[in-house]
Amino acid sequence: MAEKRIGIEGSLAIAEAAKRACVEAVAAYPITPQTHIVERLAEFVANGELDAEYIPVESEHSAMSACLGTSAVGARTYTATASQGLELMHEVLYVAASLRLPIVMTVANRALSGPLSIWTDHSDVMATRDCGWIQIFAENAQQAFDLTLCAFRIAEDPTVLLPTMVHIDGFYVSHTIESVEFLEQAVVNKFLPEYHHPYPLNPDKPVTMGAFGPPFIYTEAKKAQEVALEASKRVILQTWQKFGEISGRHYSPVESYKTEDADTLLMCMGSFSETAMMTIDKMQAEGQNVGLIRLRLWRPFPLDELRRAVSKAKVLIVLDRAMSFGGPAPVCSEIQAALYPLRARPKVVSFVGSLGGREISAEAFEELIHRGLDKAKKGKVDEIEMIGVRE
């Protein structure tokens, strides 16, 4: 069911996933570090390898607007962007979610201006966390390929019909050549049914999308949207289970690494989790009871899975890769809110690091864990600490 492993750049592996998903429409605007994805898709279309409409546009705002149209008429639709491009799309992201259009988008996470930075952090995703999209994190090229295929099946399920982002760390995943195992086209075709929107725009059978919502109906519309997003988790879990059966690669909303006997946990999101694994290996070999958990599913937030994952921990050290200026760190604040109602819960220590792409080495992760333990011991868990900052 799987082809031979090959070495391929992460961006090209994602483009291959979209090609094997038989996307029918791509509307995109180039922005570093996602450009290679849509360039490769444009090549596929130009060479006749992919039967799709490639729509060149003048901006990311236009790209997402074009995606609204193609998805609304029933075409399997894909796009990709990063950073400022994602923010230029911002107002249209809300429309895609509220219209229940199952667009799939790769976001090559990158820092927001200013100052101008093309390197990765998570400021762009955190700025769009409340737009109503399903949001999933991949840590490497193989996961990006797999989760892109899964994203189409999830988004297009008739009980879901919600747009879905797959987040990758710019450059760390998008531009790195890794070993990737593709699924054969016949297997993908069986896993991913043809997309049929139940209410496509059709002049012969008129429907209304995005109508005016006065106060007497707007609240109910938002409630329905929230119910739909929360209910999508059932399909997400089913999809990942099915994908695991055909590929041998299994995904979960919250994933644990060597946490069985750990009373101290580090929590990361994205590609840096793999560096953190090296730290956990070293510290456990030295007899220290530490483990790692990673958030795979960001929206809908995996409340129950998170609580189970940290139920035996005494200290939870959370690394955010974005600031929430004037407030608590975005991921850590959600972790704290999720754990607050529990009678027994770990002490949560908040760190912010890797802004603008600054690296965190395995040694730096070890220092971070020791620093977190020291803060927990001293009761200094109400403050956010920026790591690696020169003052």
Residues 168 and 93 in one domain: yes
Where among 181, 212, 247 does a domain terminate?
A: 247
- Do residues 182 and 16 touch, judged by C-beta distance below 8 A? yes
Q: Which range among 41-45, 211-215, 305-309, 352-356 shows the weakest confidence by mean pLDDT? A: 211-215
Positive or negative: CA dihedral 276, 278, 279, 285: positive
Positive or negative CA dihedral for 73, 137, 122, 227? positive
Same domain (yes/no): 310, 223: no
Joined tokens for residue 64:
């997402």
Closest listed residue to residue 312, CA positions, set 266, 352, 263, 356 = 263
- Residues 203 and 124 both lie in one domain: yes
- Domain boundary (198, 216, 247) is at 247
Task: Please give the Cα distance from 340 to 183 (Å, whole number).
Answer: 42
Mean pLDDT value across residues 48-63:
98
pLDDT digits (tens, 9 = 90+) for 217-238: 999 999 999 999 999 999 999 9
Looking at the structure, tell me whether residues 271 and 214 fall in a common domain: no
Same domain, residue pair 24 and 143: yes
User: Is the distance from CB of 288 to CB of 375 less than 8 angstroms?
Assistant: no
230 and 348 belong to one structural domain: no
Tell me: the pLDDT tens digits for 120-143? 999 999 999 999 999 999 999 999
Confidence class for position 2, pLDDT limits 50, 70, 90? confident
Is residue 367 located within the same domain as residue 261?
yes
- Beta bridge mates, 53: 25
Query: Buried (b) or exposed (e) across 174-201, using 16+ Cβ within 10 A?
Result: beeebebbbbeeebbeebbeebebeeee
* pLDDT tops 70 at residue 390: yes
**pLDDT for res 209:** 87
The pLDDT of 90-104, averaged and rounded, is 98
- Indicate whether 1 pLDDT > 80: no
Please indicate, yes or no, if residue 204 is contained in any of the structural domains. Answer: yes
Judge whether 173 lies within some domain: yes
19 in any annotated domain: yes
Sort strands 6-9 and 177-180 into parallel, antiparallel or unpaired. antiparallel
Query: Residue 27's domain spans which residues?
Result: 6-247
Half-sphere exposure of 106 (CA within 13 A, CB side): 42
Residues 79 and 22 reside in one and the same domain: yes
Q: How much is the mean pLDDT over the chain?
A: 96
285 occurs within a structural domain: yes
pLDDT value, residue 141: 98
Domain boundary among 247, 280, 310: 247
Would you list the DSSP string of 224-241?
Answer: HHHHHHHHHHHHHHHHHH
Q: What is the largest CA-CA distance in the chain?
A: 70
Residue 289 falls within a domain, yes or no?
yes
Residues in the chain: 391
Shared domain for 185 and 100, answered yes or no, is yes
Q: What sign does the CA torsion over 380, 383, 387, 391 have?
A: negative
CA distance 54 to 241: 32
- Mean pLDDT within 324-348: 96
Count of structural domains within the chain: 2
* Of 110, 172, 163, nearest in space to 143 by CA: 172
CA atoms 172, 383, 312, 240: torsion sign: negative
The verdict on residue 391 lying in a domain is no
With left for phi above 0 and alpha for psi between -120 and 50, is residue 132 left, alpha or beta?
left
Q: Could you tell me if 297 and 362 lie in one domain? A: yes
Residue 38, domain CATH:
3.40.50.970
pLDDT at 208: 87
Domain co-membership, 222 together with 277: no
Average of pLDDT values for 21-44? 98
pLDDT > 70: what percent of the chain? 100
Same domain, 240 and 263: no
CB 34 within 8 A of CB 81: yes
Domain presence at residue 1:
no
| CATH code, domain with 316 | 3.40.50.920
In a domain, 326, yes or no: yes
Selection from 128, 175, 174, 109 nearest residue 355 by Cα = 109
